[in-house]
Structure 1
Amino acid sequence: MRRRYSKDPSIDKSLRHSVKDGVAYSVMAGGGESYFSAFALFLKATTEQIALLASLPPLLGSFAQLVSAWLGHRTGRRKAIMLAGALLQAISWFPLALLPLLFPDDAVSLMITCVVIYFAGANLAAPQWCSLMGDLVPERRRGRYFAFRTRLASITAFTALVAGGVILHYFTESDYTLAGFILIFILAAVARLISAYHLARMQDIPGHVAALEIPLGGEWWQRIRHSQFARFSMFYGAMQFAVAIASPFFSVYLLRDLHFSYLQFMACTASTVLMQFLTLNAWGRISDIFGNRLILVVTGFCIPALPGLWLISADFWYLLVVQALGGLLWAGFSLSAGNFLYDLIPSNKRATYLAVHNVFVSIGVCIGAILGGVLGGLDILHSVVTRWQLDWPSVLYGVFIVSLLARLLVAVLFLPRLKEVRPVRTASIALIFRVVRFNPISGLIFDIVGSLRRYRKPRPGDL
């Protein structure tokens, strides 16, 4: 039986195209973006260049959300802005795939430029896409629709991730690694073009365009800097800073220092993603019962241990288990953080607040990744390992220890001060997510699309 999303035929058709867009987008994210760092290492990128690859594109790309909101305010044409971002993202894949053939001497620097364009396209489209979907999907069907769409997108992204690893492994075994990268990147570009086609077929019904609802001046910042929103954004940005000290270099550790195959690298990433997929709903139920603060505190104090676990053994199967544990913790942390943030933001000013929050986080990631790159390239770290005769398979162990301490410091300073935003055990907000990109450490990266208020019947003893 054909699934029906809306009684209005034109809206139902648009929502079908959106599902196909999500599947195609996930092919790009899982099969292409997951291998950015692996491609950079294939191009002989240094630790410092890996740091720039992990830091500059998300930071510069995040400002495109503000540009999108400004364009939305100026033009009111959200579908055109959304398509421009999607096409920009698709086009960025073609020069990226051909860099080693056309510009072998400057391939790494130009790759970083292409990835900046890639992130800019994604962030340009995101606010308008969220706005359009909020108007297209009937609220009473919103939870079921996005649950189905996100589940399908997650399965597709996981499958594409595995397929990408298998392709690279096969071509590497035949000494044609570059051909393998070109193939998965061209497939990613085609997938995004297919995604853009389905976006173009969606109806842009009259609704609320994602725009700058408030001026981003000094007066506005003075007004909110002591708010819960500002404190939470600083906490989340600080935690992402601490995580980014180590996270960009996990790929370097696996591929360069431990000499893992692309198949083993894929498996480590896939174990994180699979565990997220299996536990996300359970975390959601726990959040509804006990609130978001409890999950943030528990996972926030456990996450610092993850880089410490990397130090215990370099065995592939052991690291697979550690990555699965990371997927469990990051699923809870990301979901509760998204819920917490959504409860803090005024609904009529969401586009601006989310854009500002994302800039905060991107700045934290940028500074953390650059710090990790500098630490990883310091001669003093090499000399310490040599002088103390440490049995480390990688000097990056020092970077992992710094990240562990920084994460723990952020947790100790911020988590005890967090206060639950909304009451629990009565009505709750069910957030609606979509898959936006991959991270080798935290797995699937979700974006908030909207919300759905869920109620349960009062129980005896409820106030």
Structure 2
Amino acid sequence: LGSLGAMLLLLPGAILAEKSPSRKWLVVLSGGGISRLMLLGFAVLPFFLSGESAVMAAIAMKVIMDAFSNLSMPAWTSLTADIVPLAWRGRYFGTRNMFMGIANMLVTFIAGQMIVHAATPLEGYQKVYLLALVLGISSTVFFASIRETQSSHVASQKGLEVYKPRVLLQGLKRDPNFVAFCISQMVWNFSVNIAGPFFSVYQVEVLNSTPAIIGIQSIIASVSGLPAQRLFGTLNDRWGPRKVLLLTGFLIPFMPFVWLLVRSPWHPTPINIWAGFMWAGYSLASFNFLLSISTQETRARYSALYQIAVTLSLAAGSAFGGFLVQHVGYPAIFISSGIGRFLSVFLVWRFVKSAQESPDAALPVLDQPEITTSVKEAETYQNGHEDI
């Protein structure tokens, strides 16, 4: 349901980003407003509902939370690209991701302690949701203080015309570099999710790992990614995101094959160190590359289309991986995932050009020489820990 909501609202989010006179307030009201208010709903839900009805209400609130978060994503991406100068993007997003990683580990520990030491687990979870709400509102207040100059964004007057399937297809035909990048990333994410959802299952079913060991492995990967953010952020600015994408993309596919040699719960430790480090660079480079090959006019649109492509490929990869595990076994998903990742890197190397190499590369805005218009997840667009 969350993936379906994302696909349904990403393009409307791009339309709103192009039509709205203020992308900042679009983000504040949707992702920073309605989405975060659902946290309050989780906190007070046990006072009003219980049992199956409470579960259904929680699912509905989670879908609403994800939907409005995705509605604001194209506006956030477009606004961020205008705010952060091209020459600083690698270091900026690298530093940003590093502090986000530190905050994530710290607040996860705090939340765990709150739940453990509460009178009841239910009370502990309610306190955690209230804490998340307070922190989320604080973040929204700071985001609302960003100065969005009128010169950085002019609302599109084209309306819904550019989003008609025929016009959208024509626009994509004129930008084969973006299409090639999307295809390569669809292959990548499909391949990643062939094995991604099943690494933890493999640790439990085959390696007899305990939840504590799996948690420690997750922390190891997170910590490994922190220094990588600074390193790859600098390399991104010096080399360009395409070279960082190729470097990390070539080194990541070896990891699924190494899982074939794992025999004990602690054997994945070096894999997770390598995964945390390399995934930090890959996620950073893929986001910056999308920014670099899109223009101010197309950025919101491209962000939405890219996310839709990624969402579909991730879902398909999970389904295919589940089929392989059930009918062939774990070695099949490790091998298939590794081969698919190598194929994706080949597609990037052969068909995807950097902004400087592409004839359709974005040109700088003439009245803003310091800010070019050259993108969970990653978040990250990806979360960077698919190998865990």
Q: Deviations over 1:335-377 (max 9, x none)?
A: 333343333223332211222122111111121123334444x
**What fraction of aligned residue pairs are identical, expressed as a percent?**
24
Mapping 1:33-432, distance limit 5 Å = 56-58=1-3, 60-85=5-30, 86-96=32-42, 102-105=49-52, 113-132=60-79, 143=88, 151=95, 154-165=98-109, 167-168=111-112, 171=115, 180-203=124-147, 205-207=149-151, 208=153, 214-225=162-173, 227-254=176-203, 258-261=208-211, 263-287=212-236, 290-313=239-262, 315-376=264-325, 378=326, 380-381=327-328, 396=330, 398-412=332-346, 414-422=347-355
Residue number in structure 2 paired with 1:442:
384
Q: State the shift of 1:278 in Å.
A: 0.7
Q: State the shift of 1:234 in Å.
A: 0.7
* 8 Å Cα contact 1:131-1:209 kept in structure 2: no
Matched length: 366
SS at match of 1:347: coil
Work out the CA distance in 2 between the residues paired with 1:348 and 1:229.
14
Q: State the shift of 1:307 in Å.
A: 2.4
* 8 Å Cα contact 1:150-1:434 kept in structure 2: no
* 8 Å Cα contact 1:269-1:440 kept in structure 2: no
Work out the CA distance in 2 between the residues paired with 1:74 and 1:227.
26
SS at match of 1:267: helix
Inter-CA distance 88–210: structure 2 relative to 1 (3 Å threshold): farther
Work out the CA distance in 2 between the residues paired with 1:182 and 1:324.
34
Work out the CA distance in 2 between the residues paired with 1:352 and 1:158.
32
Inter-CA distance 180–372: structure 2 relative to 1 (3 Å threshold): farther
More displaced 10-residue stretch of structure 1: 168-177 or 293-302: 168-177
* 8 Å Cα contact 2:91-2:233 kept in structure 1: no
Q: Deviations over 1:249-290 (max 9, x none)?
A: 3344456774533x5444323333333321233234444555
Work out the CA distance in 1 between the residues paired with 2:119 and 2:201.
21
* 8 Å Cα contact 1:250-1:441 kept in structure 2: no
Mapping 1:22-33, distance limit 5 Å = none
Amino acid at match of 1:61: A
Inter-CA distance 341–79: structure 2 relative to 1 (3 Å threshold): closer
SS at match of 2:261: coil
More displaced 10-residue stretch of structure 1: 398-407 or 303-312: 398-407
Residue number in structure 1 paired with 2:364:
none
Inter-CA distance 322–365: structure 2 relative to 1 (3 Å threshold): same
SS at match of 1:76: coil
Q: Deviations over 1:374-412 (max 9, x none)?
A: 444x3x45xxxxxxxxxxxxx655544442343344445
Work out the CA distance in 1 between the residues paired with 2:249 and 2:221.
17
* 8 Å Cα contact 2:115-2:124 kept in structure 1: yes
* 8 Å Cα contact 2:283-2:378 kept in structure 1: no
Amino acid at match of 2:384: S
Q: State the shift of 1:292 in Å.
A: 4.4
TM-score (norm 1): 0.64
* 8 Å Cα contact 2:294-2:375 kept in structure 1: no
* 8 Å Cα contact 2:42-2:58 kept in structure 1: yes
SS at match of 1:245: helix
Inter-CA distance 167–264: structure 2 relative to 1 (3 Å threshold): farther
Q: State the shift of 1:227 in Å.
A: 0.7
Residue number in structure 2 paired with 1:3:
none
Amino acid at match of 1:91: L
TM-score (norm 2): 0.74
Q: Can you give the 5+ residue segments of structure 1 that lack an aligned partner in the other structure?
A: 1-55, 382-394, 445-463
* 8 Å Cα contact 1:299-1:330 kept in structure 2: yes
SS at match of 2:300: helix
Inter-CA distance 434–417: structure 2 relative to 1 (3 Å threshold): closer
Q: State the shift of 1:176 in Å.
A: 5.8
Q: State the shift of 1:192 in Å.
A: 1.3
* 8 Å Cα contact 1:136-1:205 kept in structure 2: no
Inter-CA distance 329–352: structure 2 relative to 1 (3 Å threshold): same
Inter-CA distance 149–335: structure 2 relative to 1 (3 Å threshold): closer
Work out the CA distance in 2 between the residues paired with 1:98 and 1:398.
45
